[in-house]
Chains A and B, each alone.
Chain A
């Protein structure tokens, strides 16, 4: 019951937010609508008993990526005029997005129901951690990802430092 109500509320919030992201003329407002979508998706994860994913969604997508998006919008606007994006209607973009929507909808409708193959109980946090860090689990992928991020971090430092001296 509670889950159903939460799903309806969050689902509506996501649809409204996603719609606003693309229709709102003010770029900064669009960025904040994007954040609203991210928060609502985190709520959805939470009610699907995926607590860990919900927390990561909040920490990373809202806290970090959201901040990056907002800073980017702020830094790239030269004047208040840049805030308003032009409301140009593009037939090509309309058709392309319509086709994409049709393809995704077709895929969703045609694919076998996921409900049957879903596990009965959510995976406990302990099992999740053990899966992630065991040698026959995902530890290699985890290490590669962290190495990649470290390289990116070092590269960012190298790029931004003063190269005159």
Chain B
């Protein structure tokens, strides 16, 4: 088949996954948070409030797209895309099953993390271009947090790489299927990864970026209609990507222990997606139960706790791997 057509179809498929995930995540967030807060969430439209989603989409699409009078027009318009496009591109590297992955370069893990480092620039542009105090403060808080937790996030993704001997996400999954899920040998990394993921997607223990009653909607305060929609779609996408990365690195990806890839067949995709949504559910429960960290507190946790801990843990882990390899070689 024409390679251009294949590439286009892959991109469209990723976009579809991203949109479906957005819809799923909005509904799930409302229901899960609702029940965590002893509310019901949406109930009126459709069965169990499912059609609320359609109403929301229609609202986002037809709402007036307004620009604050003194905003920096050029940056204001482009900012949602600086957030959206890289988040969209990270989906390309997620291995949904042994065959279903849009792009599978040798360094897919590193590439994914590289694309994830771009959205903070868009968030900052959005906050700055809005020329609104809420938006600017929200953006500075969000970006400060994100760049702080990006380093421990990168470092906590390394132990699985050391175990698998590859930066290719597919190879990491395959090597987990022949040994054990890496959550067991790398438990501290897994916990650090989850904390950092919570920060990178600015969810509740670390959502001073919004802190509704203080900053309205943080960096997105001045945005309306589909521009706002793009930013939120990107946030939900990042949520899914973080869960997918955690599943791939630590929880065996699309494999199940004791079942071969051939036996799993097309169900591998379902296994992977189910694992991701279980993790997202965990994120949402954390969001529903924990109270906010203060800005200076979470910066302190990031720089003074997580960063040194992750550096020391990597050294300990690497040394332990070496010692075990030597003992095995000697015996």
Interface residues of A (CB under 8 A from B): 26, 28-29, 32, 35, 39, 51-52, 55-56, 58-59, 62-64, 66-67, 70, 74, 125
Give chain B residues whose Cβ lies under 8 Å from the Cβ of A32.
75, 121, 125
Q: Is the CB of A70 within 8 A of B105?
A: no
Stretch at the interface among B106-114, B173-181, B199-207, B244-252: B106-114
Q: Is the CB of A58 within 8 A of B117?
A: yes
The 8 A-B residue pairs whose C-beta atoms are closest, nearest first, are A63-B117, A58-B114, A59-B114, A55-B114, A55-B110, A125-B106, A59-B117, A55-B111
Q: Is the CB of B115 within 8 A of A70?
A: no
CB within 8 Å for A74 and B105 given contacts A55-B114, A59-B114: no
CB within 8 Å for A58 and B115 given contacts A32-B75, A63-B150, A66-B121: yes
Q: Is the CB of A51 within 8 A of B117?
A: no
Docked Cα-Cα span, A56 to B263, in Å, equals: 39
Interface: B26 (CB within 8 A): no
Give chain B residues whose Cβ lies under 8 Å from the Cβ of A58.
114-115, 117-118
Chain B nearest CB: distance from A90 CB in Å?
Answer: 26
Chain A nearest CB: distance from B13 CB in Å?
Answer: 20
A51-B111, A67-B143 known, 14 other contacts, Cβ within 8 Å:
A26-B72, A32-B75, A35-B121, A51-B105, A58-B114, A58-B115, A58-B118, A59-B110, A62-B118, A63-B147, A63-B150, A67-B121, A74-B140, A125-B106
Main secondary structure of the interface of B (DSSP, over half): helix
Docked Cα-Cα span, A153 to B68, in Å, equals: 41
Docked Cα-Cα span, A125 to B124, in Å, equals: 34
Q: Name the contact of B72 in the complex, choosing from A28, A39, A56, A67 (C-beta under 8 A).
A: A28
Hey, what's the 0/1 contact readout for B78-109 against A, CB within 8 Å counting as 1? 00000000000000000000000000011100
23 residue pairs A–B, Cβ–Cβ below 8 Å: A28-B128, A29-B75, A32-B121, A32-B125, A35-B121, A51-B106, A51-B111, A55-B111, A58-B115, A58-B117, A59-B110, A59-B113, A62-B117, A62-B121, A63-B147, A64-B117, A66-B121, A67-B124, A67-B143, A67-B147, A70-B121, A70-B124, A74-B128
Q: Name the contact of A63 in the complex, choosing from B72, B110, B114, B125 (C-beta under 8 A).
A: B114
Interface: B74 (CB within 8 A): yes
Docked Cα-Cα span, A63 to B147, in Å, equals: 8
Q: Is the CB of A29 within 8 A of B74?
A: yes
Give chain A residues whose Cβ lies under 8 Å from the Cβ of B106.
51, 125
Closest to B154 in A: A59
Chain B residues touching A, range: 20 to 34
Give chain A residues whose Cβ lies under 8 Å from the Cβ of B143.
67
Q: Is the CB of A67 within 8 A of B120?
A: yes
Interface residues of B (CB under 8 A from A): 72, 74-75, 105-107, 110-111, 113-115, 117-118, 120-121, 124-125, 128, 140, 143, 147, 150
CB within 8 Å for A63 and B107 given contacts A28-B75, A28-B128, A29-B74: no
Chain A nearest CB: distance from B199 CB in Å?
Answer: 15
Docked Cα-Cα span, A74 to B105, in Å, equals: 37
Q: Is the CB of A63 within 8 A of B118?
A: yes
Q: Is the CB of A55 within 8 A of B107?
A: yes
Give chain A residues whose Cβ lies under 8 Å from the Cβ of B118.
39, 58, 62-63
Closest to B127 in A: A74
Q: Tell which of B75, B115, B117 has the most Cβ of chain A within 10 Å.
A: B117
Give chain B residues whose Cβ lies under 8 Å from the Cβ of A56.
114
Give chain A residues whose Cβ lies under 8 Å from the Cβ of B150.
63
Chain B nearest CB: distance from A75 CB in Å?
Answer: 10
Docked Cα-Cα span, A28 to B117, in Å, equals: 19
Chain A nearest CB: distance from B117 CB in Å?
Answer: 3
Give chain A residues whose Cβ lies under 8 Å from the Cβ of B121.
32, 35, 62-63, 66-67, 70
Chain B nearest CB: distance from A38 CB in Å?
Answer: 10
Chain A nearest CB: distance from B7 CB in Å?
Answer: 10
Chain A nearest CB: distance from B4 CB in Å?
Answer: 9
Chain A nearest CB: distance from B311 CB in Å?
Answer: 10
Chain B nearest CB: distance from A5 CB in Å?
Answer: 11
Docked Cα-Cα span, A66 to B75, in Å, equals: 16
Give chain B residues whose Cβ lies under 8 Å from the Cβ of A39.
118
Closest to B113 in A: A59
Chain B nearest CB: distance from A77 CB in Å?
Answer: 10
Docked Cα-Cα span, A97 to B114, in Å, equals: 34
